[in-house]
Amino acid sequence: MRRSVLLIALAAVACGGNPKPAPAPTPPAAAGAARSSARPALAVPHPAPCAASCTAADRLTLELDLLFGAPAVQQAIWSIRVQSLDTGELIYALNPDTLVMPASNMKIVTLATAAERLGWDYRFETRLETEAPVTNGVLQGDLVVVGGGDPSINGKGSDPDVVFTEWAEALRQAGIARIAGHIVGDDNAFDDERYGDGWSWDDFAYGYQAPVGALQIGEGLVDVVVGPGREIGAPAEAAPRADNSGLEVVSRATTGTAGTRADVDIFRFPGSRVLEVRGTVPLGGPEVVREAAVDNPTLFFVRTLRAALIARGIAVAGDAIDGDDLPAPTSAGRPTTAGRSDGPATAAPPASPAARRVLARHLSAPLSEVARRLMKVSQNLYAETFMRALSLTPGPASAAASQKVQAEILESWGIAPGHYALADGSGLSRHNLVTASTIVRILQVMARTPRHAEAFEATLPIAGADGTIASRLKATRAENNVKAKTGTLRRVRALSGYVTTIDGERVVFAILANHFTAPTRAIDTAVDAALERLANFSRK
């Protein structure tokens, strides 16, 4: 009556279903636990030619071939490599050198190269500066906030009061109770390309595609709250939860029949501040919240800072201004407004950075800590920031300059240019290409380099426990064992990382699927069954 989980998974993949996991004992606390406490090895029948002379590795290969060749998933273009970290032996491969889209597996490339170039102790710096004198408690000019790309200020899970409270106190210590000028954002550490190459234009409204910049706050996100009108057919009400977002929310949504399901979407053209809300919300139903990306991260930052200083007793006479919008001198020496301006026409040209003095500075947590959010929840803005930080000196940092740095690092690791194509840091772009062999090589370097091994592995989601694979591989030997980065785009699924076998052998794997029309659950079922098989693999 006993059935292996792999047999069930094989049947499920063959018919495209999504079976409930077979009952399993509580997994061991650590990978490589004694076999007496482990689940029995999977009993999967193999073809007759292998019946008498197969090694354990041969049987594994046949079983994985069955999984990835099942009718429901065989149309996918698979690029797979499974290799022993301990011996270097190739355990399994399927098109390992075929170029495929990695989706968020691109973050493995981004983090690894950032750690190699910047180091795990690297911290992003943000400063308050001014060239103006202080007279009788009044700063007689502008307060300039200079960004270094820190993506974590007021990020999810952080205390929004800490940084601004510290800055307000620093200003008071400098004798400043009032700012006569403006709050100006200096974002020149990064270039003005806010989006990755090849990002989908119809996704710019969504929070996962927030624009990158040297000044970032709240991860570039704002909640848009949508509520029903007073009667069926009436316009739905919509407004941003943060007044400093710079977005102009326009509701095109309507009020539907009571008891129906809400169907709300958001849309914004690239470069526009107008965010349209579309769809329906039921009469008398609860408010619906959608996470939207701001258009101008610098303006969002300085507006939020201005409001925070006022709330903490520091009066501000001027406006919040993106430094790129300040008047620039003309050939005749008179200022003219360059680009769009959100400040008054009387704003002065920006002061030279060399002429300014530092009033306060904030350092982010070390890269090792910030990277955990990047990888655990697959935070795209963090990835884009990490990539650009590779070329911060000399600045302004840019994606193109950073990709040259990445290429140099990858080549030093033995990865030739033809085995990848770099388009962004997050994996949102469909122009990215990698091979399973490339991902495995990077994972090998991270695991085998003492200064990287522990810090890098600590950033990865853990199967059945946290991050983007918290709900996968539960009640199997792979739970709390597999540590891996996911990747998801339309027609793309990826999972790459580490697993320890029942014998305690460390294994590195990269499994990427492209160009499939099967349900993603069928792809995930095949991948998870393969990882469970690897977790139960024994050479004995």
- In this predicted model, what pLDDT tens digit does every residue of 120-165 receive, in sequence order? 999 999 999 999 999 999 999 999 999 999 999 998 867 778 999 9
pLDDT of residue 41: 36
Q: Phi, psi (5° rounding) for residue 380?
A: -65, -40
Q: Are 265 and 205 a contacting pair, CB within 8 Å?
A: no
Task: Among 81-95, 319-333, 463-477, name the one with the lowest average pLDDT.
Answer: 319-333
Distance (Å, rounded) from C-alpha 208 to C-alpha 204?
9
Whether residue 5 has pLDDT greater than 80: no
Strand spans (E) along 400-535: 420-421, 433-434, 483-489, 492-500, 506-514
Task: Give the chain's end-to-end CA distance (angstroms, integer).
Answer: 25
Cα angle 299-327-174, degrees, rounded to a multiple of 5: 65
For 223-270, write each residue's pLDDT tens digit: 999 999 999 999 999 999 888 999 999 999 999 999 999 999 999 998
Distance (Å, rounded) from C-alpha 60 to C-alpha 44?
9
Q: How confident is the model at residue 328 (pLDDT cuts 50, 70, 90)?
A: low
The mean pLDDT value for 51-72 works out to 90
Distance (Å, rounded) from C-alpha 74 to C-alpha 62?
15
| Separation in Å, CA 509 to CA 13, 399, 409, 438, 440 | 20, 28, 21, 11, 6
For 524-533, write each residue's pLDDT tens digit: 999 999 999 9
Q: Are 396 and 108 a contacting pair, CB within 8 Å?
A: no
Which value, in Å, is the radius of gyration of the alpha carbons in the chain? 27
Residues found in the chain: 540
Which residue ranges form the domains of the chain, and what is each CATH number?
Answer: 5-33+46-105+429-535 (3.40.710.10), 124-364 (no CATH)
- CB atoms near residue 246 (< 10 Å): 20
Q: Phi, psi (5° rounding) for residue 35?
A: -65, -25
Whether residue 330 has pLDDT greater than 80: no
The mean pLDDT value for 166-177 works out to 97
| Separation in Å, CA 521 to CA 12, 15, 24, 409, 493 | 10, 12, 21, 36, 10
- Bridge-partner residues for 100, per DSSP? 434
Q: Phi, psi (5° rounding) for residue 383?
A: -65, -45
Mean pLDDT of the chain, nearest integer? 88
- Token pair listed for 47: 């073809």
Distance of CA 130 to the CA centre of its chain: 34
pLDDT of residue 350: 60
- Token pair listed for 426: 């997050």
Place of tokens 């094989």: 10
